[in-house]
Structure 1
Amino acid sequence: MPKRLDIRLLAPSGYAEDRAACQRAIERLQAAGHTVHGGAVVDRVDLRFAGSDAERAADINHLANPDHPLPDVAMATCGGYGAIALLDRLDYAGLKARFEDGRCVLVGHGDFTVIQCALLARCGVGSLHGPMLVQDFGAGYLRETTWRHFWQTLQGPSMDVAWACNENAPALTLEGTLWGGNLSALCSLVGTPYMPRVEGGILYLEESGEQAFRIERMLYELLHGGVLATQRAILLGGLGGQRVSEYDNGYDIDHALERFGRACGLPMVRGLGIGHGPDKCTLPFGAVGTLEVRHGQAMLAAHDYRHVRQTAGA
């Protein structure tokens, strides 16, 4: 049974369309013994966003205010779009000072990737790439694998995940800084001060609903933008939702990744359960991890990351 925690909700992107899922998630967290704060953010709607830019940035900057106690966890409600508009409004100095003692950890994925990258780049604050309130904890069927791995990673001194990967993945044993997230969100930061400069990284990527040629194009954006020059390996999670048209002449996501793999020269390991899929692991964004690949099986682990409060590679 996980320790009882204070959880504060953040809504930096789209609004929570499924209110029943919000309530279901909050009730599940409360039933597990946790206290959930900030529930009012799920009721805010401004166009397609969960409030104005100022309101959504204030949710995050609230964590930087020393007059307010920090929660144990600050969790994104859902993704969508909108977090990028907040990056020049965040109190990076205040967030750095508050997160230095390791009392709070942020968690999310998808559009939340831009917040995670900005915090690592600007003030060395790590986070967790993991489940969110609505689509994960509020799902009609709660995935036990997702639930269990989140609490294990959040509260334990180490994490590991094993999966069956592509059979043509090369044999690997390497160490590097774990970071990444949603592919389109990452590409939106190329050439900006909010993209972390990670040396010797293990870059994990996921995307949903983008056509194969768009995924290939975004991967080239990371390559030509210099991001991949300092990476040791690429881990690929869910890349579903593509449609193959008659014009494609059979070109699909497998062709796109094969073509790009030849161009970038980095080992690419597929099948990691992250992002928009129903079953997902939780990864310490900014921590040092180890990757081993043998005979179509992969293992990723990280130790002593202390919820990535003291990050490496930023």
Structure 2
Amino acid sequence: MKKTIYIYSPSSAINDKASFKRGIKCLESLGYEVEIDETALLKHQRFAGNDAIRIASIHRAASSGANIALISRGGYGLTRILPDINYKTVAKAINKGTKFVGFSDFTAFQMAVLAKTGEVTWAGPVLTDDFGAKEGVDEIMQACFEDLTSEQGEGCGWRLPKFIQKKSIIDAEIIKSEFFINEECNFDNAVLWGGNLAMICSLLGTPYMPAVKNGILFIEDVGEHPYRVERMLAQLLQAGILAQQKAIVFGQFNHYKLVSHDKGYKLASVIDWLRGKTKAKILTGLPFGHVATKVLLPIGLEVSLNVEGRDAFLLWGHQH
């Protein structure tokens, strides 16, 4: 029997209909049966329909019985409708086998589901930017997605950046080298959670921020200058969130522009600053974010994190 994918638009409007069509065609060519929500292509201001329409689309996705509920794109729009989502309906769908997949703005929904129900959602691709990319579908992303739909996925691995052997090396040299310190670690039964850093910070102080202790927090963002990344991390640090984590895993941070008065201040210096502020292990290089090559990650599931040398592994197969 074909696996079914339900496409819906809970955030920004689709401006690139060509990528939408390419994405649908790609999924169908991979053997999936695709159902498109009746409001997927609507527009209201910058949104894919007004708030009520987008809330209803989430509930239809939950009631679809599809194997995968895949968002068309991210953008913005979910934080403003979080109070009106029926989380019992979403939890019921998850328990019946529907996997909610997406990232970016979708992080707000994923954090709310975890906070309200404790159920697992999946950080992964969207229809337009990933399956509808002009350059074609990334092979690693596609393989991870097919592992999810076939329920064969057991984890992911990646190669960490090279070591800096001396932690006391001065900040300017760290910036010049652009390498990070990676410490060996082995954590079992830690809840994996996270996603877009800006979206996570936007939920602080709300009922939609999960209270995860001894977890593994993964983060990514796009178009955010390193000083803004640092400011958001400082907010999480000062709110006591980071102190409760076993590890913080940096995904991809891209599409920002450094300026002359940064004077060598880069993302590397932000990470080095953070290392001095938390006891949590900090790892980098996770292939996830606003990039073509991305793994799929279970938000809210207990995982194992193992690091040996430059090889890092997030494993959850033991939970199936």
The TM-score normalised by the length of structure 1 is: 0.91
Cα deviation per residue 1:180-225 (whole Å; 9 max; x = unaligned)?
0000000000111101111211111000110000000001111112
Distance 1:118 1:201 in 2: 17
Instruction: Name the SS of the counterpart of 2:65 in structure 1.
Output: coil
8 Å CA contact 2:131–2:137 kept in 1: the answer is yes
Measure, in 2, the Cα distance between the counterparts of 1:41 and 1:218: 34
Distance 1:301-1:42 versus aligned 2 partners, 3 A rule:
same
Q: For residue 72 of structure 2, what is the aligned residue in structure 1?
A: 77
8 Å Cα contact 2:2-2:31 kept in structure 1 = yes
Aligned residue for 1:311?
none
C-alpha contact (below 8 Å) 2:243/2:279 kept by paired residues: no
- 2:233 aligned residue: 219
Query: Out of 166, 185, 188, which is 1:172 matched to?
Result: 185
Q: Does 1:86 align with 2:84?
A: no
Q: Map of 1:218-257 to 2, 5 A cutoff?
A: 218-257=232-271
Partner of 2:155: 160
Q: Distance in 2 between matches of 1:158 and 1:37?
A: 24
Percent identity between matched residues is: 33
Deviation per residue, 1:106-148 (Å, 9 max, x gap): 0000000000010111112211111110000111111111101
Give aligned pairs, total.
300
Gaps of 5+ in 2: 164-180
Q: How does 1:123-202 map to 2 (within 5 A)?
A: 123-140=117-134, 141-166=136-161, 167=163, 168-175=181-188, 176-202=190-216
Which stretch has the larger CA shift, 10-19 or 150-159? 150-159
State the match for 2:31 in structure 1: 33
Amino acid at match of 1:109: F
Contact 1:158 1:304 (C-alpha < 8 Å) held by counterparts = no
1:264 partner SS: coil
TM-score by length of 2: 0.89
Question: Residue 220 of structure 2 contacts residue 289 of structure 2 at CA under 8 Å; is this kept in 1?
Answer: yes
Q: In 2, are the aligned partners of 1:157 and 1:305 still within 8 Å (CA)?
A: no
Of 112, 116, 123, 1:122 maps to 116
Query: What's the CA shift for 1:155?
Result: 2.4
Q: CA deviation at 1:63?
A: 4.3
Q: Is the 8 A contact 2:3 2:149 kept in 1?
A: no
Distance across 1 between alignment mates of 2:284 and 2:149: 24
**1:259 and 1:126, CA in 2 relative to 1: closer, same or farther beyond 3 A?**
same
Q: Is the counterpart of residue 43 in structure 1 residue 41 in structure 2?
A: yes
What is the alpha-carbon root mean square deviation over aligned residues?
A: 1.6
Gaps of 5+ in 1: 307-314
Paired residues of 2:243 and 2:280 also in contact (CA < 8 A): no
Alignment CA distance shift 1:69-1:154 (3 Å): closer
Amino acid at match of 2:107: T
